[in-house]
């Protein structure tokens, strides 16, 4: 099957799998509208009580109880996914949080992705991950972020249409929250080639605490770590006698 002969149903299937791959990320946004619905229900109860409308009050209380249950359910599901997919990163103490992030980026995330990318159901043509260098300064703005975003690089796999779609959906089982970009398909089935990019999202338990006074120049506290991927064998600079080990390559 050539790319030019893909029918509308195939486009829908591709879109459906992409939605599944990003489902957890979308789910994390569900808690906000549920909380808004809870707040609105509480406001209706308060208004009905103020007006003395017993019938409206009883209906509003019923809606409020339903909203409370829904928020509780969504929060429980969200907490479960967070425990399953998120490293335990707290930046309340910036120095300890920086060490935790080094460990996550260098010792955990790289090897985890490398292992997970080995899908035996397809031919993996390339899995070029380029994890950014971890920050070398505990006062880096990254520690004040509610979510850490890591562009991971590109994956290219070959197989028939169904196996390629299964490969994309498979990332939904990764032990980190990974979003798959819309893939490009080239070639003819059963030797289609899918190319897509990955982005990892990490939500820290706590954002950065008080900034740490740095030795040296007055502007050192505001300095940030070196941008871009970490070259093999070259640790990033850091405010101490030794930097972290180099990030693993693929």
What's the CA gap between 229 and 128, in Å, rounded? Answer: 12
Residue ranges making up the domain that contains 137: 87-211
CA 46, CA 249: separation in Å to the nearest integer?
59
pLDDT digits (tens, 9 = 90+) for 160-200: 999 999 999 899 888 998 888 889 999 988 889 999 999 99
Q: Which two tokens stand for residue 150?
A: 């890591």
Over its C-alpha atoms, the chain yields an Rg (Å, rounded) of: 23
Rounded Cα gap, residues 150 and 132, in angstroms: 7
CATH number at residue 145: 3.30.70.60
Residue 135 lies in a domain: yes
When pLDDT is cut at 50, 70 and 90, the band that residue 28 belongs to is low
* Rounded Cα distance, 247 and 250, in Å: 10
The residue among 180, 186, 56, 205 whose CA lies nearest residue 117 is 180
Tokens 């409308």 correspond to what residue? 53
Percent of the chain whose pLDDT exceeds 70:
74
- Torsion, Cα 213 204 29 195, to 10 degrees, reads 110
- 1-33: burial string, b at 16+ Cβ within 10 Å, e else: eeeeebeeeeeeebeebbeebbebbeebeeeee
pLDDT tens-digit series, residues 37-56? 888 888 888 888 888 888 88
Is residue 221 included in any domain, yes or no? no
Question: Residue 8: inside a domain, yes or no?
Answer: no
Domains held by the chain: number: 1
Residue 165 domain flag: yes
pTM summary value: 0.64
């Amino acid at each position: 099957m050539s790319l030019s002969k893909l029918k509308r149903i195939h486009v829908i299937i591709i879109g459906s799998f992409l939605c599944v791959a990003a489902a957890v990320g979308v789910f994390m946004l569900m808690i906000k509208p549920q909380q808004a619905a809870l707040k609105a229900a509480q406001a209706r109860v308060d208004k009905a009580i103020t007006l003395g409308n017993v019938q409206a009050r009883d209906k509003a209380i019923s809606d409020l109880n339903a909203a409370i249950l829904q928020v509780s359910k969504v929060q429980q599901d969200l907490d479960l996914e967070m425990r399953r997919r998120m490293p335990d990163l707290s930046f309340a103490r910036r120095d300890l949080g920086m060490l935790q992030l080094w460990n996550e980026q260098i010792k955990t995330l790289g090897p985890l992705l490398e292992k997970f990318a080995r899908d035996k159901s397809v031919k993996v043509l390339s899995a070029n991950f380029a994890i950014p260098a971890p920050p070398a300064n505990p006062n880096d703005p990254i520690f004040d972020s509610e979510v850490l975003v890591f562009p991971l690089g590109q994956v290219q796999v070959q197989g028939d249409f169904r196996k390629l779609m299964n490969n994309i959906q498979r990332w939904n089982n990764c032990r980190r929250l990974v979003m798959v970009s819309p893939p490009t398909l080239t070639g003819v089935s059963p030797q289609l080639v899918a190319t897509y990019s990955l982005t990892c999202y990490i939500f820290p338990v706590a954002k950065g605490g008080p900034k740490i006074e740095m030795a040296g120049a007055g502007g050192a506290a505001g300095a940030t770590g070196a941008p871009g991927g970490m070259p093999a064998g070259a640790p990033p600079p850091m405010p101490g006698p030794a930097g972290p080990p180099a990030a693993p390559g693929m």
